[in-house]
Structure 1
Amino acid sequence: MGNVLEKHPAYGNDPLKLADFVRKALRGDDFDTAAAVVRAASKQIQCTVSWNHLIDWEMTKGRMNAALKTYNEMKKRGQTPDSHTFTIIIRGCTEHRDVQAALGKVMAIYQNMQTDRSPVKPNTIHLNAIIKMCARARNMDAMFGIVAQMPDKGPASPNNLTFTTIINALRIDAAGDARGDLTPMQKRQNTEGAILNARHLWKDIIQRWRSGGFWVDEELVCAMGRLMLLGQNQDRDDILSLIEQTMNIPRQVPRLNTSQRMLMEPASQRTQDSKNARAGPEEPSANSDGVSAFMAVTPPKSSPPGQSGGVYAKPGRNTLSLVLSALSLMKVKEAADKYWQIFVYNKKVKPDVENYHAYLRVLRVFRASAQTVELLQSMPYGDMRASTFRIAIASCERDKRNPNAFANAGKILDIMTNALEVPDIRVLATYLDIATSAATDSDGLKLPRVEQGKQIMRALERLSPSFINVKSFFLFGKSERDQNPAERAEHRESVLLLTRRMIAAYCIVLDKELVERSRYPDLQAQRSKLSAFVTRQKEQEQRSYLEKGEIEELPEHLLQYVYSHRLNKLMVNSQLRPEQWQRFKERVQREYDAEQKLAEAAKEMQEDSTGNQELEKIAEEDRRVAEAVAKGIFAETN
């Protein structure tokens, strides 16, 4: 390129202008020009920032080896790397797709930074990035080796992000083992070992917090809590002590295995105790030393920078989700209600969709259909999803012994109608199941026959507008171009499923005589309309497949097999979907081949039998000839 500075003379003596030029050139992906100008300017000035831009650009492109080559060239040209240089390199290696290869590069750079001749010593930012790299590679030995070398104080001392990364690494490693090929006992031992290591680490965290070494934040607390969720009930119970210790929110339920705890919801406690007895002791991850790690402590007197309201960690949505998850796994509802009140109304935490869903799952476990309705009424419409109402309606389905369960399900249906543009079909079908359960389920609520009929008819009347909406969306909503085949097929099946459920509801009312005879003609007409809709959809789908050529005719010999074995109806039903038709053809071909083989084997056996008879005849004739010859020879001798 000749003397490139002759084309860009303004950048030869001004590092700031040079860095600005390099940044603009790299923004246009003109790396070669930027690198040439930086190389030429390096002969005259110190331009570390420009070299950093070059290295950063290559790292963002995933060119780790090229970036390290540029870093080495930078040093050879007399340019001194600064702290940001190493931050760029370590961060880029951390995000590289080849984790193991990147870890080797990072560890080599880390060892080089620790030498006396290195102009930059590793600080907390560097070490946190390296620890994150070890966590991604699941190299726990390397991670703890680096942590052991970190000083208690100074620019390289661990902070809250350091411990958050370590605990998250332990959780990811334990969760990875849980999905592996290990035995259940090995998976449990690995999880308990990770929790035990985190408990010992937490003691150090609390000691540093008490001495004012750093501040405990919500991210660190929730990292510890998420790891403990993987453990046993004692670990999950200690999450509440963890929240009390770090956020000054008192426990709303007594500690596990205490007499006060046994007085709360004794039925669920007996269930949990029996499960624990079968599972064995929980000592490895919840020994006495570990429990004491979450006892209340005296925090430092000053507040962290930028945080008001005391020295405790500020609770947020992540903490609320953690607490609800722990209580759901432990099957404790009363405490969940109290914590929701504290977080949402006392601590002014604005719940998100996941928080609402977590609380709804707790209510579903305890069949709290009325409380579910109250929660939905306080939930913003913008946060509501189809899954929201599926969880909510499940509470009513589980609460079928409650005489108000059907009324609560109706309220959920009203909220869904207002919140969603198109009602969720699964929710509508479940609502209808709740209405018919009294007439079909022996374990359900026993209602008088008249009341059963009124309940089912009420459900059918309420479903009518929603069904019209669903059917209109199905027929005139999204075009086939806006839906992939799987979505289109799933939606069609859902609509037909709801239609069949409604037909079944009409059949229950008519067959069990749950309404007056005078209403029969009208109900039969409604049922006939629904049946006709199902029939039309089947015929339309079959025609569409035939028009597209996705359904081909059977060969003549297979058709004869179908007719001879009376498989005509099955053949017609199989033509509704290409995959069903393909399976039907394979089945018929397989059975036909097997029948042909049996026929050939029978024919061969018959031929063998005929041949054996002929051989026996020949042998008999030979025997007779031999006897005759023998008699002649005997006569001549005499």
Structure 2
Amino acid sequence: MFECRTCTIRAIRAIAGDAIPARRLALTPRWAERRKASTVATSASPSSGGEPYLNAAQLRHEARQKVDQAGSLVRRHTTKDDPANEKWLAAKEEKRLATTSDRHIRKELEWLKDPAKLADHVHYTLRCEEPEKALELCRTASKDMQCVVSWNHVVDWHMKQGRIKDALNVYNEMKKRAQFPDGFTYTLLLRGLVGVQDKHKKQVVPPEHVSRAVSIYHSMKSPTSRIPPTIIHTNAALKVCAFGRDMDGLWSIASSLPEVGPGAADHITYSIILNALRYEILGAERDDRQPQHVDKNVQEGRKVWMDVVQKWRSGQVKLDEELVCAMGRLLLLSHRILDHDDVLNLVQQTMQIERLIPPVDSEGRNIGHVPRIAAAQDDSVDDPISSATPEEEDGFTETPAGRAFKAVKPLPKDPRNPARPALLQYVRPGADTLNVILDCCSQMRIPKTAAAYWDLFTSETYGVKPDLHNFHAHLRLLMKNRSSGRAAEIVKTDLPKAGILAPMNLTFRLAMDACVRDWKNPHVMQSATKIVDAMESMLADVDVVTLNKYLGLALNSDSGPAVVAAVNRLDSLIQNLRSRVNYGPTISVTRSFDVREKQEILAFFRIVIGAIDTVLNRGLVPRKDYVHWHARRALLHRFVDGATKSVEKSAHKLEADGLRPAGSRGFRGARKMELRDDDGEGMRPQRGERWKRNTASADVALLSFRRGEGGADRKQNERTVKRPFQDSPADFGM
């Protein structure tokens, strides 16, 4: 086939030529090493350059030095250029991400050609906590369509999150992109500047937010404004000024309102103004409130109410319960009994409910029992009891505003004004009205009238369903009147009948305060026991403060059976309290709250031990039952000693973690809590020497056990001394 050997080798090389670069020929290891050494030596030999001969080791060393020099040079230049490189890389990465995000947003907008669909998608994106993406959707879509609603969603989301500055920035950017704000945009801005306000605890709006709201409102009133302000915008701006206590800004806005027409004031406007006058008074501390300033705001409120009544009679303004209660609460802040009495006139005027008590200036009305409030503080202020004269010492003169709450009749028919109503639309009372009536009767010390109004409002005629705040106001009034039986009846019967199955701890504290005030009543312990029974059935965790008051009420009596019955009634509750100390409360809020509650329970147990000592020291039980009472006392004392160490250890751990038990109180705090009003003011009644004598032994016993005096000796005596009495058949468990 081949003519010679050379042709054969050439053909073999042609066939195996593709495999030679990919893989070396399999040679023997010895030949490969020998060939490699020969190649290196040959390549490095100075055949013609005149350089000295270098062996393999010297060549490797020289190559390593060259690599190190090059590496140091590269590192030196890299270190010098690191910030620039990082900035360049970050910009490149940001550009890549922005390009990717823009591509995704443009892809989404291809399917969102309808502004309504875009607004729904932006709203969904904000609910998914992606405000940046929602803003980019609005920015990109603004190039091709009007999407004001989508921008409004972004502004509203930032306002609800409390990001006022970000919302205003979005509002300004919206205008720059030719997306002109509509009326709803301004409503969202003004409402958002108010913030989230609780019904019973208002927050003060910062001054910068107030000034911003006023500037936005005045910009809407400018001739070049695209959106003129409506009454909705006016009410929102007034609310910002009211919560910011800026009366100058409020009156500047209110004075610019037209008397009639679309922008005229409505019932919400007047409610905001009256509440603003009240907030300004409440902004100062109770002791720092000047009577002249209070009287000035009350007189301003009377003038506003005269305007309200005039427009109500002409059919321009409708009345609601919120407006009536706003005026009533403003009158209750006054120190004059005439202003308090006008609350009943206000209810009669607006709800057509006749007064259930004669007026203050009538002959059949006795006000001698009403305490003097302002006369003792300021000589320049008249006596509230003798304030029925036309002209008073502080310069107050009877004005038409003083007759603002007289009963009114509808205006006669006018053919030129067919919208004038022939009959007045009276307000239907509710729970807020009942609360104002109860507060008014409480300040004027007329509990029987309050009970009559309560029965009238809750009857089938009006059908008012009292809420928990109404019951609290009623219990406060009963506490002042020392009506322990009625308080127990409310807690036991009226609360479940009204559908309130889970009342607060404050409910039972107020009811027990009524019993403490009525301590001279021979049946007071029966009423107090009913309150404890109701608390045990309604609350998962009984209130320790209420139990302290219950036990203190029993110690105040000279009846040994009453003290014994109280301690025996607390037996089952003590079992539950021991479980709370061992395992924690049913609903655990924080660690510090749990530790504080355990400390209060242990302080109550020490009071129970002191009560048992009082029973034994004063001989309020038969001598044969001493063994039983000593055993119960020892059992409870051992538990208190063991639990105190554990609770103190938990308290120290909290202090080490920087979580000191907030509001933690020891024994003295529990004793003060027992004799303290829930409003923070001292309400300890004059119980005479008997109260001090009955509680002295309990205090001494508690202090002795707190100091550790006689604890070990008494335990030793209980173990060694033989008791001559037999054990009582009563249950020893506690």
TM range (shorter): 0.7 to 0.9
Q: Secondary structure at the match of 1:514?
A: coil
Whether the 8 Å contact between 1:177 and 1:187 is mirrored in structure 2 is: no
| 1:235 and 1:286 in contact (8 A); partners too | no
Which amino acid in 2 is paired with 1:120?
A: I
**CA displacement 1:332-384 (0-9 Å, x = unmatched):** 10011011111222421111111111101111111111111221222126142
State whether residues 475 and 511 of structure 2, in contact with CA within 8 Å, keep that contact through their aligned partners in structure 1. Answer: yes
- Write the distance in 2 (CA, Å) between the matches of 1:547 and 1:39: 53
Once the two structures are TM-superposed, the CA of residue 192 in structure 1 deviates from its matched residue by 1.5
- Post-superposition shift, 1:244? 1.5
Q: Select which of 147, 164, 184 maps to 2:254.
A: 147
Number of the residue aligned with 1:200: 303
Q: CA deviation at 1:103?
A: 3.1
Aligned pair partner of 2:370 in 272, 277, 299: 272
> Contact 2:599/2:647 (CA < 8 Å) preserved in 1?
no
Aligned with 1:415: secondary structure?
helix
Q: Residue in 1 aligned with 2:153?
A: 53
Secondary structure at the aligned position of 1:261 is classed as coil
Q: How does 1:23-34 map to 2 (within 5 A)?
A: 23-28=123-128, 34=134
Of 601, 622, 641, which aligns to 1:516? 622
SS in structure 2 opposite 1:312? coil
Aligned CA distance change for structure 1 residues 90 and 536 (closer, same or farther; 3 Å): closer
Structure 2: distance between partners of 1:482 and 1:549: 18
Could you tell me which of 183, 187, 203 is aligned with 1:87? 187
Instruction: Return the offset for 1:437.
Output: 1.7
Of 494, 502, 516, 2:608 maps to 502
Q: CA offsets per residue over residues 68-90 of structure 1, 9 Å max, x none?
A: 45445544554443322322333
Question: SS of the residue aligned with 2:224?
Answer: coil
Taking the aligned partners of 1:330 and 1:74, their CA distance within structure 2 comes to 56
Structure 2 residue aligned with 1:462: 569
Asked if the contact 2:242/2:250 (under 8 Å) is kept, the reply is yes
Percent identity (aligned): 34
Change (3 A) 1:378 1:30: closer
2:230 alignment counterpart: 123
Q: Is the 8 A contact 1:55 1:71 kept in 2?
A: yes
Q: 1:108 to 1:541 in 2, by over 3 A?
A: closer
Aligned mate of 2:548, from 426, 429, 436: 429
User: 471, 475, 488: which one pairs with 1:360?
Assistant: 475
300, 318, 321: which one aligns with 2:432: 318
| 1:297 aligned partner | 408
Deviations 1:87-124 (A, max 9, x none): 23333344399733333333333233223332221110
Match of 2:495 among 379, 385, 397: 379
Does the residue aligned with 2:425 lie in a helix, a strand or coil?
coil
Give the SS at the match of 1:402.
coil
2:362 is matched with 258
Structure with bigger helix share is: 1
Letter in 1 for 2:255: A
Between the aligned partners of 2:329 and 2:311, the Cα distance in structure 1 is 22
Q: 1:22 to 1:503 in 2, by over 3 A?
A: closer
| CA gap 1:78/1:12 in 2 versus in 1, 3 angstroms | farther
The secondary structure found in structure 2 opposite 1:177 is coil
Offset of residue 66 of structure 1: 5.0
Deviations 1:228-278 (A, max 9, x none): 22112322221121112112222222222432211xxxxxx3232655654
- Residues of 2 paired with 1:253 and 1:170: CA distance? 28
CA distance in 2 between partners of 1:526 and 1:155 (Å): 77
Find 2:319's aligned residue among 212, 216, 220: 216
Q: Is the 8 A contact 2:267 2:317 kept in 1?
A: yes
- Match in the other structure for 2:283: 176
Q: Read off the aligned partner of 1:340 and give its amino acid letter.
A: W
Q: Residue 476 of structure 2 contacts residue 510 of structure 2 at CA under 8 Å; is this kept in 1?
A: yes
CA contact (8 A) 1:12 1:45 kept: no
Tell me how far apart the structure 1 counterparts of residues 169 and 277 of structure 2 sit (CA, whole Å).
Answer: 33
2: CA distance, partners of 1:109 / 1:549? 49
CA contact (8 A) 2:554 2:563 kept: yes
Aligned-partner residue type, residue 433 of structure 2: T
Structure-2 separation of matches of 1:430 and 1:120: 62
Distance 1:75 1:466, change over 3 A: closer
Cα distance change on mapping 1:330 and 1:494 into 2, 3 Å:
farther
Q: Aligned-residue CA RMSD in angstroms?
A: 3.7
Q: Count how many residue pairs are aligned between Structure 1 and Structure 2.
A: 528
Q: Which runs of 5+ in 2 are unaligned?
A: 1-98, 197-203, 385-391, 414-422, 657-702, 710-734
Alignment-mate amino acid for residue 216 of structure 1: L
Q: Partners of 1:428 and 1:15 in 2: how far apart?
A: 63
Superposed counterparts of 1:561-580, under 5 Å: none
- Which piece of structure 1 moves more, 362-371 or 385-394? 385-394
Residue range with higher mean Cα deviation, 413-422 or 207-216: 413-422
Structure 2 CA distance for partners of 1:273 and 1:40, relative to 1, 3 Å: closer
Secondary structure of the residue that 1:407 maps to in structure 2? helix
Q: 1:57 to 1:415 in 2, by over 3 A?
A: closer
1:137 aligns with 2:232: no
Check conservation: 1:369, 1:408, Cα contact below 8 A.
yes
Q: How far apart, in 2, do the equivalents of 1:432 and 1:65 lie?
A: 56
Contact 1:364-1:395 within 8 A present in 2 as well = yes
**Aligned counterparts of 1:238 and 1:274: Cα–Cα separation in 2:** 18
- CA offset at residue 295 of structure 1? 1.2
Find out whether 1:249 has 2:373 as its counterpart: no
Q: For 1:153-181, what per-residue CA distance to the aligned partner results, in whole angstroms no more than 9, with x for missing partners?
A: 222111111111111111111111345xx
Q: CA deviation at 1:210?
A: 0.9
Match for 2:615: what amino acid? V
Range moving further from structure 2, 158-167 or 282-291: 282-291
Contact 2:186–2:233 (8 Å) recurs in 1: yes
TM value normalised by structure 2: 0.64
